[in-house]
Amino acid sequence: MKVAVLGLGSAGARHARILLDLEHEVVAFDPGPVPTPEGVNRKDSLAEAIQCAESVVVTSPNSLHAAQAVAALEQGRHVLVEKPLAVTSADAELIVETAERAGAVCGVAMNLRFHPGILELKRLLDADLLGSVRFVQASFGYDLRLWRPESDYRSGYSARADLGGGIVLDAIHELDYLLWLLGPVDSVMAEVAHLSDLEVDVEDIALASVRFAGGPLAAIDLNFLEPVYRRTCLIVGAGAVVRWDWSTGTVALTPQGEEGSLHDASCNLADTYRSVLVDYVDAVETGREPRTPGRDGLSAVRLAEAIKSSAETGQRVSLIRRSS
């Protein structure tokens, strides 16, 4: 397959290298003075890159996702968009509607859906080994300055409102996998703030209380400010409790009245990125939906938008009404 990668930052370069390793032909466009991975045919314009490809991977700053994805879809190209699908739910909905009109595959690069820890949580839930889910806590925290120490964090999209940054959209993985595991959200109440000494004009911490339509309550805490990496998910069921911990690479299951068990969920993160692309290419070739279809990406953006809206208004936001 001939694939156009739009944006050659860290994510775009990684996608390009994986696609080449999978023996696809890769062209690319980036307006900036960034290196071009060996084997990639760089084009002079966005339109040229889209026109000469069968499929497009959008890896530009968040604020450009919608315009570039729609441009590709309108040319009948299949599209994979790096998370988030878009900065606003209106733009995300436009992408999904354009893909449906074009009859094109539209996926979102949510690599945590391929992480063995999340997959084990889903297996346990699908097998009803926890009983009725009552409470969930999903957490992510890490100092933004440590994410890409080779570059100035202040110039990256994560730190800039004009590029669609902020912890809520950057850590949208947590929102996405909770929606995947637990289904649609009923309502959310949230707070966001800038509490650290980071030189950013976006929120660096977010706390959300979420009620899922199926009944469970969830607490989500996300931040750009922790000095030590932390990513965990706790699920409390009527008959068992399970906890995934990124740092230990384990999923610990403790049924009521029984001895607990420990599942190995260690992972080479590179494998999850590769799996996203393998899944997407197979979806294009077979005509099926990718593991994270555009509509799921839209649901995650709607939840992110509701978190920000609740924080701004101080009111609980209903997503049932928003989705209807």
Q: Indicate which CATH number applies to the domain containing 94.
A: 3.40.50.720
What's the confidence (pLDDT) of residue 324? 39
- Where in the sequence is the domain holding 33, given as residue range(s)? 2-110+275-291
53-109: per-residue pLDDT in tens?
A: 999 999 999 999 999 999 999 999 999 999 999 999 999 999 999 999 999 999 999
* Paired tokens of 219: 């607490």
Q: Are residues 49 and 167 in the same domain?
A: no
Sequence-distant (≥ 6) Cβ neighbours of residue 207 within 8 angstroms: 190, 191, 192, 219, 220, 221
- Rounded distance between C-alpha atoms, residue 3 and residue 140, angstroms: 32
Which residues does 245 contact at the CB level (< 8 Å), separation at least 6?
117, 231, 232, 251, 252
Residues 46 and 120 in one domain: no
Q: What is the CATH number of the domain that holds 252?
A: 3.30.360.10
Same domain, 169 and 224: yes
30 plus 17 within the same structural domain: yes
Give the pLDDT band of residue 321 (cuts 50, 70, 90): low
Residues 27 and 147 reside in one and the same domain: no
Percent of the chain with pLDDT over 90: 93
According to the model, what pLDDT value does residue 323 have? 44
* CA separation for the pair 151, 166 (Å, rounded): 17
Q: Please state which of the ranges 47-61, 125-139, 143-157, 214-228 shows the lowest mean pLDDT.
A: 143-157
| Number of domains into which the chain is organized | 2
Same domain, 137 and 78: no
In a shared domain, residues 38 and 66: yes
pLDDT digits (tens, 9 = 90+) for 264-318: 999 999 999 999 999 999 999 999 999 999 999 999 999 999 999 999 999 999 9
Question: What integer best gives the mean pLDDT of the chain?
Answer: 96
Spatial contact of 185 and 319, defined as CB atoms under 8 Å apart: yes
pTM exceeds 0.85, yes or no: yes
Domain co-membership, 140 together with 197: yes
Note whether 12 and 96 are same-domain residues.
yes
For residues 178 and 130, state if they share a domain.
yes
User: Residue 258 has which token pair?
Assistant: 């029984």
Neighbouring-strand partners of residue 26: 3
- 306 and 169 both lie in a single domain: yes
Do 71 and 187 belong to one domain?
A: no
